[in-house]
Amino acid sequence: MTAQALTEAIGWTSSFILLLTIGKQIHKQWQAGSSEGVSKWLFIGQIAASSGFSLYSWLLHNWVFVVTNVLMLASALLGVAITLHQRRRAAAQQP
């Protein structure tokens, strides 16, 4: 295996682990049916950072980070959508 192939393998493996971890957390939040204790600023910050890093990575032609950051952006959007949905549902159920 060449040094370049090893570098790419490390990058893609790390990306997969990060996305799997974030995906598991979003799934857990959805299954719990509650976003109690989850700050909307977490997702706002993640959306801003992932957008900036996606553009930065694209300008550098670093495809590991382009893919990772675009998927992190999608996870942030999904996370904020789940949080808003759960908070609206909880507010509607209160007397």
pTM of the model: 0.83
Q: Where are the alpha helices (DSSP H) in 33-62?
A: 40-60
Q: Which fold has domain 3-93?
A: Monooxygenase (1.20.1280)
Predicted confidence (pLDDT) per residue in 51-87, tens digit:
999 999 999 999 999 999 999 999 999 999 998 899 8
Instruction: Write out pLDDT tens, residues 6-60.
Output: 999 999 999 999 999 988 888 888 888 887 888 878 888 999 999 999 999 999 9
Burial (CB count <10 Å: 0-12, 13-18, 19+), residue 47? middle
